[in-house]
Chains A and B, each alone.
Chain A
């Protein structure tokens, strides 16, 4: 029980830090405590930099083209990871992320094929709304039926997978060049792919308002300890519902990103994103039991997971080892996380 109380304090502190913009009460003496508590915040950028350095060492010609390859590969995965993170933070899990991305992907490719750029943006906005709605359906069913998240979202995943095939039976469709360019171009500098800018813009636009509001605090609270949160007056069911809505929006952006990076709609495009998104969540230091972690972690983890097959190609190693390496990385990160928790609980 005392551990539970500790968790709740932890959640409050974490959300509080987010609201304070991170560096709020940062005296020198508090730095180690801050480091220990926010290990993922330090660890993940370090891991990304380490992997980039490794890639640079393997492949000295690593340049703007490769940076763009990385950004394009990581963009849909990062958004899938973001969608999953919001739900996981609230103590749930969303197994319909990938299929929902596929629905957004085929909807976009089918509707945008013969339209101009402004219309495509309007359609994109509608698809985001649809994503929110799909998330809302998940949330409503969960809250109303009290069926576990895994079951409801697994079923939803099958449904969305079928819907994607109904919308577009086989790969096809398209979108205006300018729309694709939102992810595939390099408008500002060759070293700064639009995909990275888009990702940053989406996360800031969707997540910042959430994390800075009461909802952000409530998400961490119900993820840490639902009963304690309820006793403290948090609207648990509304928060769970809203977590799925926000997740749905991220999934829809992920689907649009698939349209931008491939130029077409593909009904099976979401197949890998549910599980690889979850992998990114774990590597990114978000606790699968909820309530602990930062959205930046899984997003950065998406870049690491994208670099693994790249490095294997540069090293000319059988890419089947990529799965092995990814799995090993997950185990190491989870073990590292456990170690960090132990250290934290040391008096």
Chain B
């Protein structure tokens, strides 16, 4: 018995030493800074958790420093400068502006810091950008909606935050899709601020206004739309959302009650993927400056779409989390680590 314990201890010690050597072999450990300026948003939380999980999985990140508060470019510039000062080797930023962060990104690059913008693009040539193709995100969802309405009807475009790159890009895609359907009329275009309470009030107001609405496109604050129709005891309208777990649940559960809709993928795991790219660059591996993910479209009106929706729906996952918890081949963590939001 005693011998066995000793053996186990020996094995553990060897494993630890081995792990230590492995970390040593990667030459050094890095400090990672994260800058996010939209808090209280499930998708952004998942993004941060995926960064932490990837940091843990990589084994070469010693610390993840989080600069996380509601703000705009002035606040984000301050946060980025502080992350530079705090000794970050890599900074993962979800940018609040395409251009305003460029000077500070340039300063970071001059100090040898790898800056990766995730989710949305920045125009600084020094930065790496890893994001969903947000133009395609807008266009693919809108095209499905307009097709579903047979090219005729009134739709609502529920946007994100005015002026941030992802919102502009998605709107561009939406408008591009709209061009091909002259009989589709956009009757309202509210900015939800990507906030549930705001979006919920807007859709309830729209329903109460008595306007004829045949379909709703959302920039990811999707669950509130079917919920509002349910509460108002009105028949559902075709709804375009993102791959949020709760919305996918609605698409599956309320299909029988007449809800038609589509989930357009926008993985929050771009955070972890961005970190993977940053670590590669820090280890002198050549990576392209622009990596775009093509969004997938999962509808509940076809058998193939339903099969996909059912397979990705995760009972245990937070309803506001995107079901795409991995961006392969970049992320190497276990999904459990994202859910636990565990970092190094």
- Chain A residues within 8 Å of B, Cβ to Cβ: 59, 61-62, 65-66, 68-69, 72-73, 76, 165, 169-172, 184, 258, 261-264, 266-269, 271-272, 306, 309-310, 313-314, 316, 318-320, 322-323
27 residue pairs bridging A and B, Cβ less than 8 Å apart: A65-B84, A72-B77, A72-B81, A73-B78, A165-B162, A169-B162, A170-B163, A171-B98, A171-B163, A258-B74, A261-B74, A262-B73, A262-B74, A264-B73, A264-B100, A266-B97, A272-B70, A272-B71, A272-B72, A272-B75, A309-B69, A313-B65, A313-B79, A313-B83, A316-B65, A319-B69, A320-B68
A102: nearest chain-B partner, CB-CB: B72
3 tightest CB-CB pairs across the interface, nearest first? A170-B163, A69-B81, A73-B78
- Known A309-B79, A313-B79; judge A263-B99 contact (CB<8 A): yes
Beyond the given pairs A61-B87, A72-B81, A268-B162, 7 more chain A to chain B contacts, judged by CB atoms under 8 angstroms and listed by A's residue number, are A65-B85, A69-B81, A73-B75, A272-B72, A313-B67, A316-B86, A319-B68
A314 touches B82 (CB 8 A): yes
A319's partner among B67, B84, B103 (CB-CB below 8 A) is B67
User: Within residues 105 to 132 of chain B, which ones have a CB less than 8 A from any CB in chain A?
Assistant: none
A267 touches B99 (CB 8 A): no
Give CA–CA (A266, B72) in the complex, Å.
Answer: 9
Q: Flag whether B168 is at the interface (Cβ < 8 A).
A: yes
Write the nearest CB–CB distance from A110 to chain B, whole angstroms.
Answer: 13
Write the nearest CB–CB distance from A18 to chain B, whole angstroms.
Answer: 31
Q: Flag whether B66 is at the interface (Cβ < 8 A).
A: yes
Give CA–CA (A263, B73) in the complex, Å.
Answer: 10
Q: Flag whether B255 is at the interface (Cβ < 8 A).
A: no
Give CA–CA (A184, B104) in the complex, Å.
Answer: 11
**B103 proximity list for chain A (CB < 8 A):** 184, 263
**A65 proximity list for chain B (CB < 8 A):** 81, 84-85
Give CA–CA (A165, B191) in the complex, Å.
Answer: 12
- Chain B residues within 8 Å of A, Cβ to Cβ: 39, 63, 65-75, 77-79, 81-87, 97-100, 102-103, 161-163, 168
A269's partner among B65, B72, B83, B161 (CB-CB below 8 A) is B72
Give CA–CA (A72, B77) in the complex, Å.
Answer: 9
**B63 proximity list for chain A (CB < 8 A):** 316
Give CA–CA (A73, B81) in the complex, Å.
Answer: 10
Give CA–CA (A147, B15) in the complex, Å.
Answer: 74
**A165 proximity list for chain B (CB < 8 A):** 162
Give CA–CA (A65, B163) in the complex, Å.
Answer: 29
**B161 proximity list for chain A (CB < 8 A):** 268
**A264 proximity list for chain B (CB < 8 A):** 73, 97, 99-100
**B83 proximity list for chain A (CB < 8 A):** 313
B193: nearest chain-A partner, CB-CB: A268
**A262 proximity list for chain B (CB < 8 A):** 73-74, 77, 97, 100
